[in-house]
Structure 1
Amino acid sequence: MRYMATYDLMETIRNTNQWMGASALAVASYPAFSMFPNPALEWMAAWGEVTERSFSRMVTKPDWNIPPFVGSNGQDRIVVEEVVVKRDFGDLLHFRVQGRTEPKRKVLLVAPMSGHYATLLRSTVISLLPDCDLYITDWHNARDIPVSAGKFDIEDYTLYLVDFMRELGPDTHVIAVCQPAPLALAATAYLAEEDPDAQPRTLTLIGGPIDPSAAPTDVTDFGHSVTMGQLEEMMIQRVGFKYAGVGRMVYPGLLQLNSFISMNAETHMKAFQNQISSVMRGEAHEHDKHNKFYDEYLAVMDMPAEFYLSTVDRIFKEGEIAKNDFTVAGRHVDIGKITTVAVKTVEGSKDDISAPGQCIAALDLLTGLPDDKKASHLEDGAGHYGIFAGKSWRKNIRPLVLDFIDAHGETAAAPAPAKPKPAAKKNKAA
């Protein structure tokens, strides 16, 4: 499948379905048909509307659309996105809050590169902005990156995180969500040896596969059931002439989306059937629950082939992070060298992607870190999405993470000032 033809075939199928949806909506919406109401035409128009919207979202990068929030003085705070560090495969993005002068916790939110854009964490960003000076890793779609930019594997990803942490300085608190958790841990360990003064103050790992073998899931089982040769043959394709990354080897986002949907096919099918019915009855609207979720869920991006393959091989198959055997540019990254960065893990009891046990394994690797700088939390009843963006995140996990940051923040990290010695009493005879 490593050919442009297969990549273009998938894009052709997507494009055709988008066209069919738009055509069905246009034909069924002719004013003349309204003289004789016909349920079949109403269903056809509703199907066309939902289909055209769904397939068009698959190649569109969502906007952040961060709404203003009310500041401590009662005024609306406008949020502006600005690029702090621009790189070929991803930028460091800052959410600047206009008019805010009081210092806030400086937080780097590390978004996953797993088929979706960083905007998947929009609700996480919105929930953190009132209390944090927030930065995020904004990864680029590999299909839009020219071949001349070179490769990008998990070692390059780790070095990007190292550079972003250095840019933000040592008063930073890092929160890594899902896929980047093991690499954020490795980046922190890299800094512990190479540039200790640039280490963040805290590192929070949420639902990440630090040790995938600790609690097997369908994701880990798939990684062990195929060889790397089979995986490369089945999953890797070459970008076609339609995009700037023509010729680049990628793991297509459309393939990843197919995998996501197949895991819960019945649930997704029912959701779209219900949405078509809602459109027919005139009950659906632009920002209803279905559109809000699927506009983001269906927006997928291609991953560089070397990043996808090295993730499966080195994180899942070989377990290099779990064995503390990870290397970057030929140099061993020893997680035990982390001695000052407070680390917290968060897991969900119903997480079917990174099951409980996979993330907390990070604490056992931190042999040089005192126990009072380690923490963990298992959220009962929460699934994978819920631990960073759902109700469990908003009500329980977010407050715990902010408390952890405060407990190990700048004030906690600074040594207590020495108490002044009492002045010597004067001799009365003097």
Structure 2
Amino acid sequence: MRYMLTYDLMESARNTNQWLGATANAMASYPLFSMVPNPMFSWVSAWGEVTERTYERMIVKPDWGIRTFTCEDGKDHLVKVETVVERPFGDLIHFKVHGREEQPRKVLLVAPMSGHYATLLRSTVKSLLVNCEVYITDWHNARDIPVSSGKFDIEDYTLYLVDFMREMGPDTHVVAVCQPAPLTLAATAYLAELDPKAQPSTLTLIGGPVDPDATPTEVTDFGRRVTMGQLEQSMIQRVGFKYKGVGRMVYPGLLQLASFMSMNAERHTKAFVDQIQRVMRDEASDHDAHNRFYDEYLAVMDMPAEFYLSTVERVFKHREIARNEFVVAGHKVDMGKITDVAVMTVEGANDDISAPGQCIAALNLCTSLSDSKKASHVEPGAGHYGIFAGRSWRVNIRPLVINFMNVNARKQGARKAANKNTAA
């Protein structure tokens, strides 16, 4: 499946389904059919509307949609997305709130490169904008990156994070969400040894697979069962002729989405059937709960093949970070070099992707870090999504993270001991 033909056939199938949905909606909505008492035409029209929207969203990068922000003065202030550092595979962007004083906390959100755009963290960004200066890693779709830009694997990802942290300075609070947690830990250790003045003040790791074997899940079991040869043969394709990255080896976003959907096929099927019924009854809207969720969930991006394969091989199979054997650009990274960065881990008790125990392993790797600079939290009843974007994040986790930042901010001088709630 390495050839462009396969990639183009997959895109053609997506495009055909979008066209079928648009055609069904247009034909079944013909005014004359409203005189027919049979509800079939209403159903076909609703099916077409939902189908067209579903397949259209798969190739569209969602907008951040954060245009204004209401500050303490009661006024709406414009929010501008500014590019701070521009790179081929990803940018560092800043949400600048015009007319507002600079906030005391400078936060770098490290978004995952796992098939979805950084906009998946939109609600996380909005919640932190209340009293933080928010920056985020905005990774690019690999299909739009020319082959001339070179490769991009987990070492390159780590070096990108190193450069972003250097750009932001030592008063930064870094929050890594899900997949980048182990690489963000490695980037922090890299700076601790080679450029200690650029270390962030705090590092918060949320639901990430620092040690995938600590608590096995379906994801880690898959990584163990499948060989690298099987993955390369079955998952990797070349970008087709339609995009700037033509010829680049990628793990296609559409293939990733198919895997996601198949894991909970019954739930997704019910969601779409229910949405068709709502459209028939004129109870749906552009911004209802279904469309808000699936407009983001269905928007997928291709990953560079080197990044996907090296993640599976080095993070999950060989557990290089968990064993403190990770090498970046010929330099062996030692997590024990972290001595001046407060580290906190957050896990969800019901997380079936990165189960409790996988993330807290980071604290054991920081052997030279005092207990007063370590903290952990396990959120009862929370799944993977909820610990960074759901009610659990807003009500319980976000206040804990903000307090952790306040207590361990370098400019405050002496630090107080952080509360520690270790995983059971």
Q: Same fold per TM (> 0.5)?
A: yes
Deviations for 1:53-77, whole angstroms, at most 9, x for unmatched residues?
Answer: 0000000000000152321121112
Match of 1:422 in 2: none
Change (3 A) 1:410 1:73: farther
Structure 1 moving runs of 4+ over 6 Å: none
Letter in 1 for 2:412: A
Letter in 2 for 1:168: M
1-structure distance, mates of 2:282, 2:103: 47
Match of 1:87 in 2: 87
1-structure distance, mates of 2:81, 2:37: 48
Q: 38-47 vs 94-103, which deviates more?
A: 94-103
1-structure distance, mates of 2:151, 2:122: 28
2-structure distance, mates of 1:122, 1:103: 19
1:388 partnered with 2:399: no
Match of 1:335 in 2: 335
1:415 deviates by: 9.0
1:55 partnered with 2:60: no
Match of 2:419 in 1: none
Match of 1:3 in 2: 3
Match of 2:240 in 1: 240
Match of 1:325 in 2: 325
2-structure distance, mates of 1:18, 1:211: 41
1:37 deviates by: 3.7
Letter in 1 for 2:331: R
Match of 1:412 in 2: 412
1:333 deviates by: 0.3
2-structure distance, mates of 1:37, 1:62: 39
The 5 Å alignment of 1:253-402 reads: 253-402=253-402
Match of 1:40 in 2: 40
Letter in 1 for 2:13: I
Q: In structure 2, list runs of 5 or more residues that go unmatched.
A: 417-424
1:102 deviates by: 4.2
Deviations for 1:217-257, whole angstroms, at most 9, x for unmatched residues?
Answer: 00000000011001100100000000000000000000110
Q: In structure 1, list runs of 5 or more residues that go unmatched.
A: 417-430
1:411 deviates by: 3.5
Deviations for 1:14-51, whole angstroms, at most 9, x for unmatched residues?
Answer: 01100000000000011121222430000000000000
1:147 partnered with 2:147: yes
Match of 1:31 in 2: 31
Letter in 1 for 2:104: K
Deviations for 1:76-112, whole angstroms, at most 9, x for unmatched residues?
Answer: 1221101010000000010000101143300000000
| SS of structure 1 residue aligned to 2:322 | coil
Deviations for 1:275-319, whole angstroms, at most 9, x for unmatched residues?
Answer: 000000000001000000000000000000000000000000000
2-structure distance, mates of 1:327, 1:209: 18
Deviations for 1:305-347, whole angstroms, at most 9, x for unmatched residues?
Answer: 0000000000000000000000001110000000000000000
Change (3 A) 1:90 1:102: closer
Count matched residues: 416
The 5 Å alignment of 1:16-165 reads: 16-165=16-165
Deviations for 1:328-386, whole angstroms, at most 9, x for unmatched residues?
Answer: 01110000000000000000000000000000000000001011000000000000000
The 5 Å alignment of 1:215-234 reads: 215-234=215-234
Letter in 2 for 1:254: L
Q: 1-10 vs 283-292, which deviates more?
A: 1-10
1-structure distance, mates of 2:302, 2:102: 39
